[in-house]
C-alpha cells in the first residue's frame, strides 16, 4: 500500500480565513519498518523472531497540536467530516478489509486534517486515545467514528485506542488465535451505578511529542515492532486474552506496556516506541 | 380481593400473549402486587418493539458466522440460561462466566455478574454482540454486513418500521433498543410461591416447601440477607424505587481463594482490592431450572450450593469473604425442605409462555445454522 506522503499545506485565499492554514498530517503504518498491508507477512518479530500476518491496524488520536517556535501549543481544529473526525478525536485506519483483515472496512483514513492559524511550527503533539470526556458515552448514540464496533471496548469502559492484530503464520492448530495489541482504559470506577466512570486507574493514553515535525514534509509512522520486541508472539499466557489487551495481570503485557510509554503492574513507563517521525 | 386482582392480571397476560402486535402500547403482564420495572426514556415499551426484539433474540444472523443467537446461551426452557458451566461463543470460544437467567432482568439496576457500568440492557447488548474478550457473537467490525443481512429479511423490512417509525432500519440504536425491550418483557412472577405468598393460595406450597421457606428466612442460614426481596436478590429497581440507582449487592461468597484472573470479580473493573471475588447476587426465581450454579458454573446442583454455604465457603480464608458467609449446620431433612422451597420458585408460565418463544420457522435462515446448547 503506497501512502501519499505529501503534507498538503495551503494558505486559504478568502478573508477573514486569511490567517488560517490548512494542515493534513500523513500517518503511515509499518511493521518492522516495512509498510503495513493486510496481505503481507512480516518476519523477525518479538523475542523469538516470529513471522506474522497483520489483520487489523487502527488507532484513535486526539488533541493534536502544532508546536510554535516558542514551545507553546497551537491546537489543530479538526475538520468535522462526519466519518473519521469528531471533536478533537480522529480514527486513523490503515486496514482496507482485504486479505486477512476480515473485520475491517474498505475505506482508509491515513491523514489528520484540520486548520491552524498561519504561522511557523516546528513540532507536533497528540494523544493516542479517546479523551476521557467522550470515552464513556453510549456508543449506540455516538457520532462516527465513535460508532465503529471494531473499536468498542465497552465491556471495560470506552474504546480501544489502539488495535493492531497479528497472527503468527506458524501458529499451532490449538494455539492462541493470534497476538493482538489492544490498548484501552482499564479499572474505571464510578461514584455510583447510574453515572459514567469518574476516573480510570489506568487511563492508558499515550502522549506523543514529535519535536522535529515539519508541516510540509514529515510523516508520522506507527510501528508495533519495537513495542512487542520483548514478547513471544507465538504463545499466550493461559486464561488471558490473546496477546496484550492492557488488562492487569496479563504476563503477555509485561514487556509491552512500558514500551507504549505506560506504567503496568510494577513495571514503570519507558519511552513510547510506537510512534516515530520520518 | 387478591384473587380478583390476580384474575385481572391473568387476563391481561392472556391478551398480550394472544395478540402480541395488536396493541401499540405494551401492557406489562404483571399482577397488581408487582410494580413495573423502570424503562429508559429513549426506549418506551411497545408491542411492536418487543416483537421485533423477540425475532432478533432468536436470530443467529446477528453473529459473525450465523451460528450464535442470544438464545444460544439463554434458552426459555431453562429460564433463559444455557445449562453449561460457562458460555460458548462463535468458533467454540469458551467464556469465563455462567450465563445468567434473563427472567426479571428488567428489574436489575446493573447487569452481568461483575460490571458496574452495565446499567441498561441496551448497553449490555453490545457485549455479546461485539465483545472480544472473550468473543461471543463476534460482531466487532462486522456491523455493516450484519445489519444488511437483517435488512434483507422481509420480516424485518416491516418490523423495524413498525417499531421505530422515525428510524426504520437495523442499526446500533434500533437493534440494541429492540433486544432490550424484549428482554424487559421476560418477567416471571407466577411461581407456586407467588400464589402462596401473594395470591392467597395456602395450598400452593407443599409442607416441605413451607418448612424450607422458614429455614430460608432464618438467621441460622442467613440466605435471605443477600437473596432478599421480591426477586430473591438484593439487586432491585422498580418504578417505585426512590433511591436513585436502586439497590445493587455484590458479594464474595468464598468460592475461590484467590479468584482466578480470568474472572476476578468486581475488582476487574473497579481496581479496588475490597472488590476481589465480589459478584452480583443472582435472583433465585426459577433457580431449579438454572443449573449449574455460581458465577462460574462450578457447582452442579442445589445440594452442592447448600453444602458450599453450610461449610462457610469452599475457600474459607479469602480476606474479602462476605461476613454473612459464616457456615451453618443443617440436617438432611432440612436440606430437602430448602430444596423443596427453592423448587417452589419455578414459574411454569415463564417456560411455556408463547410470547417469549422462538418465532422463527425451523428451516428459516434465522435459525438454520443456529447452535443451541
Quick check: A197 and B140 CB within 8 A? no
Which one is the CATH code of B192-349: 3.40.50.1000, 1.10.760.10, 3.40.1160.10, 1.10.540.10? Answer: 1.10.760.10
Burial of A261-276, coded b for 16+ CB within 10 Å and e otherwise, reads bbebeeeeeeebbbbb
Residues of chain A contacting residue B139, judged by C-beta atoms under 8 Å apart = 149
Question: Measured between CA atoms, how close is A158 to chain B, in angstroms?
Answer: 10
Angle value at C-alpha B144, between B138 and B147, nearest 5 degrees: 85
Closest-approach residue (CA) in chain A for B134:
A241
ipTM summary value? 0.86
Quick check: B245 and A188 CB within 8 A? no
The lowest-confidence range among A188-202, A256-270, B68-82, B104-118 is A188-202
B109 at A interface, C-beta within 8 A: yes
Quick check: A140 and B126 CB within 8 A? yes
B206 at A interface, C-beta within 8 A: no
Quick check: B109 and A193 CB within 8 A? yes
Quick check: A154 and B127 CB within 8 A? yes
β-partners of residue B132 are B135
Quick check: A103 and B126 CB within 8 A? no
Give me the pLDDT at residue B20, please.
Answer: 43
Residue A15 has pLDDT above 60, yes or no: no
Beta carbon pairs, A and B, within 8 Å: 100
User: Residue A226's closest CA among A185, A270, A182?
Assistant: A270
Topology of domain B47-188+358-367, per CATH? Cytochrome Bc1 Complex; Chain D, domain 2 (1.10.760)
Question: Measured between CA atoms, how close is B10 to chain A, in angstroms?
Answer: 34
B258 at A interface, C-beta within 8 A: no
Closest-approach residue (CA) in chain B for A155:
B127
Residue A3 has pLDDT above 80, yes or no: no
Looking at every residue in chain A, the average pLDDT score rounds to 90
Nearest to A193 among B116, B129, B262 (CB): B116
Residue A12 has pLDDT above 60, yes or no: no
3-state secondary structure chain B: CHHHHHHHHHHHHHHHHHCCCCCCECCCCCCCCCCCCCCCCCCCCEHHHHHHHHHHHCCHHHCCCCCCCHHHCCEHHHCCECCCCCCECHHHCECCCCCCCCCCHHHCCCCCCCCCCCCCHHHHCHHHHHCECCECCCCCCCHHHHHHHHHCCHHHHHHHHHHCCCCCCCCHHHHHHHHHHHHHCCCCCCCHHHHHHCCCCCCCCCHHHHHHHHHHCCCCCCHHHCCCCCCCCCCECCCCCCCCCCECCEECCCCCCCCCCCCCCCHHHHCCHHHCCCEECCCCCCHHHCCCECCCCCECCHHHHHHHHHCCCCCCCCCCCCCCCCCCCCCHHHHHHHHHHHHCCCCHHHHHCHHHCCCCCCCCCCCCCCCCC
Q: What is the pLDDT along chain B (373 residues), one digit of tens a residue?
A: 444 444 444 444 444 444 444 437 899 999 999 999 999 999 999 999 999 999 999 999 999 999 999 999 999 999 999 999 999 999 999 999 999 999 999 999 999 999 988 999 999 999 999 999 899 999 999 999 999 999 999 999 999 999 999 999 999 999 999 999 999 999 999 999 999 999 999 999 999 999 999 999 999 999 999 999 999 999 999 999 876 777 889 999 999 999 999 999 999 999 999 999 999 999 999 999 999 999 999 999 999 999 999 999 876 679 999 999 989 999 999 999 999 999 999 999 999 999 999 999 999 999 999 999 9
Nearest to A139 among B96, B110, B126 (CB): B126
B335 at A interface, C-beta within 8 A: no
Interface test with B, best of A57, A95, A152, A179 (most B CBs within 10 A): A152
Quick check: B115 and A190 CB within 8 A? no
Q: In whole angstroms, how far apart are CA B154 and each of A140, B48, B150?
A: 24, 15, 9
Domain ranges of chain B: 47-188+358-367, 192-349
Domain B192-349 in the same topology as domain B47-188+358-367:
yes
Quick check: B248 and A193 CB within 8 A? yes
- B117 is annotated as contributing to ligand binding: no
Residues composing chain A: 278
Give me the pLDDT at residue A6, please.
Answer: 36
Question: Measured between CA atoms, how close is A35 to chain B, in angstroms?
Answer: 23
Between positions 175 and 234 of A, the ones with CB within 8 A of B are 182, 186-190, 192-194, 196-197, 201-202
Nearest to A194 among B176, B245, B261 (CB): B245
Question: Measured between CA atoms, how close is A24 to chain B, in angstroms?
Answer: 27
Residue A189 has pLDDT above 50, yes or no: yes
pTM over 0.95: no
Q: What is the mean pLDDT of residues A98-113?
A: 96
Amino acid at each position: 500500500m503506497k501512502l501519499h506522503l505529501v503534507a498538503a499545506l495551503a494558505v486559504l485565499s478568502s478573508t477573514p480565513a486569511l490567517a488560517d492554514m490548512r494542515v493534513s498530517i500523513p500517518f503511515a503504518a509499518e511493521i518492522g519498518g516495512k509498510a503495513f498491508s493486510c496481505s503481507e507477512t512480516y518476519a523477525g518479530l518479538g523475542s523469538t523472531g516470529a513471522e506474522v500476518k497483520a489483520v487489523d491496524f487502527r488507532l484513535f488520536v486526539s488533541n493534536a497540536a502544532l508546536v510554535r517556535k516558542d514551545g507553546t501549543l497551537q491546537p489543530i481544529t479538526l475538520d468535522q467530516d462526519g466519518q473519521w473526525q469528531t471533536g478533537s478525536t480522529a480514527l486513523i485506519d490503515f486496514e482496507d478489509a482485504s486479505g486477512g483483515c476480515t473485520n475491517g472496512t474498505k475505506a482508509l483514513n491515513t491523514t489528520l486534517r484540520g486548520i491552524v492559524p498561519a504561522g511557523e511550527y516546528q513540532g507536533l503533539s497528540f494523544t493516542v486515545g479517546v479523551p476521557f470526556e467522550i470515552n464513556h458515552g453510549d456508543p449506540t448514540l455516538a457520532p462516527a467514528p465513535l460508532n465503529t464496533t471494531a473499536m468498542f471496548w465497552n465491556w471495560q469502559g470506552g474504546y480501544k485506542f489502539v488495535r493492531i492484530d497479528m497472527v503468527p503464520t506458524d501458529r499451532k492448530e490449538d494455539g492462541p488465535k493470534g497476538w493482538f495489541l489492544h490498548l484501552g482504559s482499564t479499572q474505571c470506577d464510578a461514584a455510583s451505578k447510574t453515572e459514567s466512570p469518574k476516573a480510570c486507574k489506568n487511563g492508558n493514553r499515550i502522549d506523543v511529542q514529535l519535536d522535529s515535525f515539519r508541516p510540509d514534509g514529515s510523516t508520522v509512522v506507527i510501528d508495533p515492532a519495537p513495542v512487542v520486541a520483548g514478547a513471544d508472539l507465538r504463545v499466550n499466557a493461559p486464561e488471558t486474552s490473546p496477546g496484550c489487551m492492557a488488562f492487569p495481570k496479563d504476563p503477555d503485557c509485561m514487556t509491552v506496556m512500558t514500551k507504549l510509554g505506560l506504567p503496568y503492574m510494577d513495571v514503570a513507563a519507558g519511552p513510547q516506541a510506537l510512534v516515530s517521525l520520518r | 380481593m387478591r384473587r380478583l386482582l390476580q384474575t385481572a392480571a391473568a387476563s391481561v397476560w392472556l391478551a398480550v400473549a394472544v395478540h402480541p402486535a395488536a396493541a401499540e402500547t405494551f401492557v406489562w403482564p404483571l399482577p397488581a402486587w408487582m410494580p413495573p420495572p423502570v424503562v429508559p426514556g429513549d426506549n418506551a415499551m411497545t408491542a411492536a418493539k418487543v416483537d421485533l426484539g423477540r425475532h432478533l433474540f432468536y436470530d443467529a444472523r446477528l453473529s459473525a458466522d450465523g451460528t450464535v443467537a442470544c438464545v444460544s446461551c439463554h434458552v426459555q426452557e431453562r429460564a433463559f440460561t444455557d445449562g453449561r458451566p460457562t458460555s460458548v461463543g462463535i468458533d467454540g470460544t469458551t467464556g469465563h462466566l455462567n450465563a445468567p437467567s434473563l427472567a426479571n432482568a428488567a428489574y436489575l439496576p446493573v447487569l452481568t455478574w461483575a460490571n458496574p457500568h452495565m446499567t441498561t440492557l441496551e448497553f449490555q447488548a453490545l457485549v455479546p454482540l461485539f465483545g472480544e474478550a472473550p468473543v461471543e457473537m463476534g460482531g466487532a467490525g462486522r456491523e455493516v454486513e450484519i445489519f444488511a443481512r437483517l435488512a434483507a429479511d422481509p420480516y424485518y423490512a416491516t418490523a423495524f418500521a413498525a417499531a421505530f417509525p422515525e428510524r426504520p432500519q437495523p442499526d446500533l440504536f434500533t437493534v440494541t433498543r429492540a433486544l432490550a425491550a424484549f428482554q424487559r418483557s421476560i418477567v416471571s412472577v407466577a411461581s407456586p410461591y407467588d400464589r402462596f405468598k401473594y395470591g392467597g393460595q395456602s395450598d400452593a406450597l407443599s409442607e416441605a416447601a413451607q418448612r424450607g421457606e422458614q429455614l430460608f428466612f432464618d438467621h441460622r442460614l442467613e440466605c435471605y440477607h443477600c437473596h432478599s426481596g421480591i426477586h430473591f436478590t438484593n439487586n432491585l429497581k422498580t418504578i417505585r424505587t426512590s433511591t436513585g440507582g436502586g439497590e445493587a449487592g455484590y458479594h464474595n461468597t468464598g468460592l475461590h481463594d484467590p479468584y482466578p484472573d480470568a474472572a476476578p470479580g468486581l475488582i476487574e473493573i473497579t481496581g479496588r482490592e475490597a472488590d476481589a471475588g465480589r459478584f452480583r447476587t443472582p435472583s433465585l426465581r426459577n433457580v431449579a431450572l438454572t443449573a449449574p450454579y455460581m458465577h462460574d458454573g462450578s457447582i452442579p446442583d442445589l445440594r452442592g450450593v447448600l453444602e458450599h454455604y453450610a461449610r462457610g465457603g469452599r475457600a474459607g480464608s479469602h480476606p474479602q469473604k462476605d461476613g454473612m458467609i459464616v457456615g451453618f449446620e443443617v440436617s438432611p431433612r432440612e436440606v430437602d425442605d430448602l430444596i423443596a422451597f427453592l423448587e417452589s420458585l419455578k414459574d411454569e408460565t415463564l417456560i411455556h409462555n408463547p410470547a417469549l418463544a422462538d418465532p422463527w420457522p425451523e428451516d428459516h435462515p434465522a435459525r438454520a445454522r443456529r447452535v443451541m446448547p
